Amino acid sequence: MCFRSAVLALSLIVAAPAGLASAQGMERMIVTANRVDASAMRSAPAVYRRIPADFVLVAVTFQSATRDEGERQQELETMFKRLKSKAAQADGIDLSGGKLGSSTADIETVLFTDIYASDYNGTGRFTLTLSVDTREGESFEKLVGRAEDFVNTIKIEGRSEAYLGDEQFIGARDVTKHRADLIADIAKEVASLRTLFGMTGSSVTLTGLENRIITQPSGPLELEIFIPYTLVLETGS
């Protein structure tokens, strides 16, 4: 299996339900293996938490330059079936359709004819999304290497070849389970402020606690989560 070299990049995606789902409005930013693009991050309030990412999403593309159009399409349809079969048997690896970072579709609803395309140079290709679960203590580079190894195990057909996309997305499942902990942390912060500035003659006003949890990368395989609240402290004269 041939892999094209690619610059590793990383973005965020929030886990979506199965089936076609729009990713419009999701917070997204680019993260490389050793830095976070701070200019794309939202400013977190005083209270936030950091959690490990549960998975990494990456586009996997198969292409073939076989001259005969019929043979070219047949080669790639065979690779499509082999990829689906391999992913179904793999632990911690899932396959889906849709466009990485924009939408997702259950792989069982995806037809080869829906994703196959051929350009004017006579190269045919299809692209799907590979989801790879993270492992405790595993680096980003090793995880991507695991994704490459997975694709490399698929038997090649004809002149087809595969490559991973140059942008990856990280995400966490069931982020809402952290809401209670975040609220408790905010309550402790309020209590601390009132103790520091005096229980009498000071007041704390909180707004925005009804907002959904914001999730954004703080590292290659780490996420920063917070509720975008506003805190106003008033002290007596």
DSSP for 177-217, please give it: GGHHHHHHHHHHHHHHHHHHH-SSSEEEEEE-TTSPPEEEE
Instruction: Tell me, letter by letter, the H, E, C secondary structure of 20-70.
Output: CEECCCCCCCCEECCEECHHHCCCCCCCCEEEECCEEEEEEEEEECCCCHH
pLDDT higher than 60, residue 203? yes
177 located within any domain:
no
22 located within any domain:
yes
Residues 175-182, mean pLDDT to the nearest whole number: 94
Query: What number of residues does the chain have?
Result: 237
56 located within any domain:
yes
Query: Which 3 state secondary structure label does DSSP give 29?
Result: coil
Gap between the Cα atoms of 33 and 9, Å rounded: 7
The pair of structure tokens assigned to 16 is 């979506």
- Three-point CA angle 58, 61, 65, nearest 5°: 165
CB of 204 within 8 A of CB of 191? no
pLDDT higher than 60, residue 118? yes
pLDDT of residue 120: 86
156 located within any domain:
yes
Tally of structural domains, the chain: 1
pLDDT higher than 80, residue 19? no
Percent of the chain past pLDDT 90, that is, above it, reads 62
Gap between the Cα atoms of 7 and 37, Å rounded: 15
Using 50, 70 and 90 to split pLDDT, how confident is the model at 103? confident
pLDDT of residue 44: 87
204 located within any domain:
no
User: Position 56: which residue type?
Assistant: V
Share the mean pLDDT of the chain.
Answer: 84
219 located within any domain:
no
User: Position 24: which residue type?
Assistant: Q
214 located within any domain:
no
Range of the domain at 43: 10-171
Name which residue leads in pLDDT, 17 or 227.
227
pLDDT higher than 60, residue 196? yes
The pair of structure tokens assigned to 37 is 């693009």
Tokens 């350009």, located at residue: 119
- The reported pTM is 0.77
Helix (H) or strand (E) holding 214: strand 214-219
User: Position 27: which residue type?
Assistant: E
What secondary structure does DSSP assign to 78-99, as a single string?
Answer: HHHHHHHHHHHHSTTEEEEES-
Gap between the Cα atoms of 109 and 96, Å rounded: 9
152 located within any domain:
yes
